[in-house]
C-alpha cells in the first residue's frame, strides 16, 4: 500500500468496519455481529451502505416507469376556448408548438418533458444493473452519470410548475380557461419517483465491486 497506488488500493470505511455518522460526523464501529447501529452520540441510524438501496431504487424506478406510460398517454392540459374543449398530451403539445419560429420552445418541451424523464429512468436502471452485476468498468463515468441524474432531477418539476401556473393564470372564464388534466399527476409522479430513486441509490455501490476485487487481488 504505497502512496502512489491508485485510489482503489486504499481501504474504504466499510472495509475498515467503520461507519461515520452523517449527522454529527462521529465515527463508530458496529456492535460485533451487527452491520448496522445507531450513532452513540446523536442516535442517527448508521449503516455501511444505504439500507436496501438497490431494492428501493428498483422499486421507485419501476413505479416511475409505470407512471411514465400514462403521463405520456393521458392529456396534461385541458384548454377550453370558445371554439371548444381540447385536451393535449405532452407529445401533442410538442407537435402543437412545432412551427418555423417556435421550434426552440417545442424542443425545450420535448427535451425537458419527454427525453429527460426517460433518460433518467434508463440511466438509473443502467447504474443499478451494473452495480448489481459488480461491474468495474467506467466507474468514473457512472458516477458522473449519477451526479447528472441527481442534479437534473428537481428541474423536471418545471413542467409541472408551468402547467399549474398556466392553469392558475389563464382563467378568462367565458373565453378561455386552462385546467390540468390527469396526465399531469402521473408526470409529477414520474418526476418525484425518479428523484426518490436517485436519492435512494447509493453511489458507493458503484465502487464496492472494485474494492472487493481489490480485496481479492490484494
Partner 1 sequence: MAEGERPPQRIAESRGLPRSRTRLSLVWFIPIVAALVGVWVAVTRIMGEGPVVTLVFQSAEGLEAGKTKVHYNGVDIGTVTAIRLSQDHKRVIITIQMAPKTDEFLVQDTRFWVVRPRISGANVTGLGTLISGAYIGMEIGSSKVRRRDFVGLETQPVITGEMAGRFFVLKTPDLGSLDTGTPVFFRRLQVGEVSSYALDPDGKLLTVMVFVRTPYDQYVNPNTRFWHASGIDVSVSASGLKVQTQSVLSILIGGIAFETDPTLPVRPPAEADSVFRLYGDRAAAFQPAPENPQTYQLIFNESVRGLAAGAPVEFRGIPIGEVTDVRAQIDLKNFQFSVPVTIQLDPRRLGVKVLGTAAGVGFETLRHRLIDSLVGHGVRAQLRTGNLLTGAVYVALDIFPGAAPATVDWSQQPVRLPTIPGQLEQTEASINDIIQKLNKMPLQQIGENLQKALGDLDLTLVSARGTLVSAQGTLGNASNLTAPNSVQVQQLDATLQEVSRAARSVRLLTDYLERHPEALIRGKKGEAK
Closest to 97 (Cα-Cα) out of 83, 80, 117, 111: 111
The single residue listed with the C-alpha cell 386552462 is 178
Binding to partner 1 by CB under 8 A, coded x per residue (else -) over 22-61, reads ----xxxxxx--x-xxxxxx-x-xx----xx--xx--xx-
Quick check: 37 and 46 in contact, CB under 8 A?
Answer: yes
Do residues 121 and 65 make contact, with C-beta atoms less than 8 angstroms apart? yes
For the CB of residue 200, give the shortest distance to partner 1 in the complex, in Å: 8
- Contacting partner 1 within 134-193 (CB under 8 A): 182, 186, 189, 193
CA-CA-CA-CA torsion for 199, 201, 207, 208, nearest 10 degrees?
A: 130
Binding to partner 1 in span 58-97, by CB under 8 A = 59-60, 62-64, 66-67, 69-70, 74, 82-85
Write the DSSP symbol of residue 87: E
Smallest gap from Cβ 151 to partner 1, in A, equals 23
Question: How many residues of this chain bind partner 1 (CB under 8 A)?
Answer: 45
Residue carrying C-alpha cell 437534473: 152
Residue nearer to partner 1 on the CB measure, 85 or 138: 85
Q: Select from 12-20, 124-132, 148-156, 161-169 the region that touches partner 1 (CB under 8 A).
A: 12-20
Residue 170 forms beta bridges with which residues? none
Site for partner 1 in 188-207 (CB under 8 A): 189, 193, 200
3-state secondary structure string, 128-188? HHHHHHCCCCCHHHHHHHHHHHHHHHHHHHHHHHHHHHHHHHCEECCCEEEEECHHHHHHH
Q: Pick the closer one to partner 1 by CB: 43 or 132.
A: 43
* Site for partner 1, residues 93 to 132, rule: CB under 8 A: none
Q: For residues 83 and 101, which CB has a smaller minimum distance to partner 1 in the complex?
A: 83
Q: Applying CB under 8 A, which residues contact partner 1? A: 11, 15-19, 26-31, 34, 36-41, 43, 45-46, 51-52, 55-56, 59-60, 62-64, 66-67, 69-70, 74, 82-85, 182, 186, 189, 193, 200
Amino acid at each position: 500500500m504505497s502512496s502512489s497506488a491508485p485510489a482503489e488500493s486504499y481501504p474504504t470505511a466499510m472495509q475498515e468496519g467503520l461507519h461515520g455518522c452523517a449527522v454529527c460526523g462521529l465515527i463508530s464501529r458496529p456492535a460485533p455481529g451487527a452491520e448496522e447501529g445507531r450513532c452513540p452520540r446523536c442516535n442517527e441510524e448508521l449503516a455501511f451502505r444505504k439500507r436496501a438501496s438497490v431494492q428501493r431504487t428498483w422499486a421507485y424506478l419501476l413505479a416511475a416507469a409505470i407512471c411514465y406510460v400514462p403521463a405520456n398517454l393521458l392529456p396534461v392540459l385541458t384548454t377550453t376556448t370558445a371554439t371548444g374543449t381540447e385536451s393535449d398530451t405532452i407529445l401533442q403539445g410538442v407537435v402543437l408548438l412545432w412551427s418555423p419560429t417556435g421550434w426552440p420552445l417545442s424542443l425545450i418541451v420535448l427535451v425537458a418533458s419527454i427525453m429527460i424523464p426517460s433518460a433518467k429512468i434508463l440511466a438509473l436502471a443502467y447504474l443499478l444493473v451494473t452495480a448489481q452485476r459488480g461491474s468495474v468498468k467506467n466507474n468514473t463515468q457512472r458516477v458522473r452519470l449519477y451526479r447528472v441524474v441527481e442534479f437534473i432531477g428537481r428541474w423536471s418539476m418545471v413542467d409541472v410548475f408551468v402547467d399549474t401556473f398556466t392553469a392558475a393564470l389563464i382563467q378568462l372564464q367565458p373565453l378561455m380557461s386552462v385546467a390540468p388534466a390527469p396526465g399531469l399527476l402521473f408526470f409529477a409522479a414520474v418526476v418525484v419517483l425518479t428523484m426518490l430513486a436517485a436519492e435512494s441509490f447509493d453511489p458507493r455501490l458503484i465502487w464496492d465491486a472494485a474494492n472487493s476485487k481489490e480485496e481479492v487481488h490484494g
